[in-house]
Amino acid sequence: MRDVVIIGGGLSGLAAAHELQGRGIPYRLIEVKKRLGGSIISERRDGFVLDGGPFAFPRRADWSFLEALGLAGALIPVHDSHRRDLVAFADGAQMLIDALAKPLTGTILHRMAVSSLGQLDGQFTLCLENGLVLDAAAVIVAAPARFAERMFRTVQPEFSLKLADYGYDFIARLSLGFRDADLPHPPLFPWDMAVAFYEWTEAPQRVPPGHRLLHVGLRVPPPLVEPDALTAIVRQQIKAHGDPVIRRLDIWPEADPLPPHRATFRAEMDALLAMLPPGVVMAGSDYHGLGLAERISGGRAAAAKIAAYLDSRP
Ligand SMILES: Cc1cc2nc3c(=O)[nH]c(=O)nc-3n(C[C@H](O)[C@H](O)[C@H](O)COP(=O)(O)OP(=O)(O)OC[C@H]3O[C@@H](n4cnc5c(N)ncnc54)[C@H](O)[C@@H]3O)c2cc1C
């Protein structure tokens, strides 16, 4: 049997690979970057654990899958500006990526980008940017709409055109570690500035004793997206008494997908997904709504659909 190709090695693609492997279905995963994880990136530095992408998640999400990944007890509480009941990963969200990737035995091709998809005689053909051409029995596209758009230009132009219109919001994510005495309790920002949200934690798994970690999402004009300028703005607005002892700034020009916030999103996206040829399934927040736990269930659901498709073929 030709294998299933998964495009994208973020959370959705890895969850799909995990599920295919569990079902005994051969797969190859193609990831354009050197590392797996997509928008998830965590770093341990000077006793702090810093997340450059996804950081805090609703506690009420379905986290039951963590136990099977050996991550029971990995979630710690986080305080949030909107008083939501949030949790974060003790060792950074990257621990979820590592736990998913570790048992995978299928081929993972790094630093290779899929540029187009074709279909011939019930098989799929994938053209890569480096000129390589791969055959596949079925395809899971676990790459965001802004990248997936060009893959479909030939095989489903109408779908491609709609994905090309997909909009995103910019966000800068600033992680600042303060000495406890330097950060007001609780930290409060005036609401006239460009702070989309902020979260903080003093959990000993992520913060050294006597310190707290502040994680701020900012929507500011690009000229201000410079580490010193942003730190100064945050420091002044929050009335911190001293400089942060650690800092990490991540700039995401196309971070937040806008369409999932529209009331009509689900119906519109379902109509779009119905245009896809059988054997091609999309996974990821651009198609199925936001949330980290949902990315795992979405990746698994994509793999289950592909398994059903393969079973249904003569
Ligand atoms: C900055 C940021 C912060 C977020 N914060 C939160 C949060 O706090 N809480 C929450 O619940 N959700 C958050 N989300 C939303 C969501 O949880 C994450 O987006 C989630 O990690 C998405 O995973 P994914 O695998 O679907 O997509 P991605 O992580 O985007 O992974 C897609 C992968 O596809 C690869 N790729 C793209 N094009 C190609 C190609 N042509 N060929 C091969 N590979 C390709 C990319 O390199 C990438 O590795 C955040 C998202 C972002 C971007």
Closest CA to 128 of 141, 116, 136, 143: 116
Is 153 close to ligand 1, i.e. is its CB under 6 Å away? no
Angle at which helix 11-22 crosses helix 94-101, to 10 degrees, equals 30
What 3 state SS string does 125-193 have? EEEECCCCEEEECEEEECCCHHHHHHHCCCCCHHHHHHHHCCCEEEEEEEEEEEEHHHCCCCCCCCCCC
From residue 210, give the alpha-carbon distance in Å to each of 11, 158, 261: 33, 56, 39
Read off φ and ψ for residue 288, nearest 5 degrees.
-130, 20
Q: How far away, in angstroms, is 289 Cα from ligand 1 center?
A: 12
Q: How far away, in angstroms, is 146 Cα from ligand 1 center?
A: 11
- Residue 122 pLDDT: 82
Residue ID of nearest Cα to ligand 1 atom 36: 8
Q: Is 189 left (phi over 0), alpha (psi -120 to 50) or beta?
A: beta
The DSSP output letter for 62 is -
Any idea which architecture 42-92+168-257 has in CATH?
Alpha-Beta Complex (3.90)
First-last CA distance in the chain: 12
Q: How many helices (H) and strands (E) does the chain have?
A: 9, 17
Q: Out of 7, 27, 33, 39, give the residue to mutate to test ligand 1, the one with the largest number of ligand atoms within 8 Å of its CB.
A: 39
Distance (Å, whole) CA 255 – CA 233: 22
Is 5 close to ligand 1, i.e. is its CB under 6 Å away? no
Is 39 close to ligand 1, i.e. is its CB under 6 Å away? yes
Angle at which helix 265-273 crosses helix 157-164, to 10 degrees, equals 150
Is 7 close to ligand 1, i.e. is its CB under 6 Å away? yes
Residue ID of nearest Cα to ligand 1 atom 13: 54
Distance (Å, whole) CA 289 – CA 77: 23
Q: Looking at ligand 1, which atom is closest to the CA of residue 171?
A: 1
**Would 4-39+97-167+259-312 and 42-92+168-257 be classified into the same CATH topology?**
no
CB burial class (10 A; 0-12, 13-18, 19+) of residue 72? exposed
Indicate the length of the chain as a whole number. Answer: 314
Q: Looking at ligand 1, which atom is closest to the CA of residue 12?
A: 25
Any idea which architecture 4-39+97-167+259-312 has in CATH?
3-Layer(bba) Sandwich (3.50)
CB burial class (10 A; 0-12, 13-18, 19+) of residue 173? buried
Give the helix/strand (H/E) hosting 217. Answer: strand 211-218
Q: How far away, in angstroms, is 206 Cα from ligand 1 center?
A: 23
Q: Which stretches in the chain have pLDDT values below 50?
A: none
Are 284 and 171 in contact by the 8 Å Cβ rule? The answer is: no
Q: How far away, in angstroms, is 171 Cα from ligand 1 center?
A: 14
Structural domain boundaries in the chain: 4-39+97-167+259-312, 42-92+168-257
Global confidence as pTM: 0.96
- Residue 117 pLDDT: 98
- Residue 1 pLDDT: 57
Condensed to tens digits (0 to 9), the pLDDT of residues 103-112 reads: 999 999 999 9
Condensed to tens digits (0 to 9), the pLDDT of residues 250-267 reads: 999 888 899 998 999 999
- Residue 196 pLDDT: 86
Q: How far away, in angstroms, is 221 Cα from ligand 1 center?
A: 23
Distance (Å, whole) CA 141 – CA 117: 10
- Residue 19 pLDDT: 97
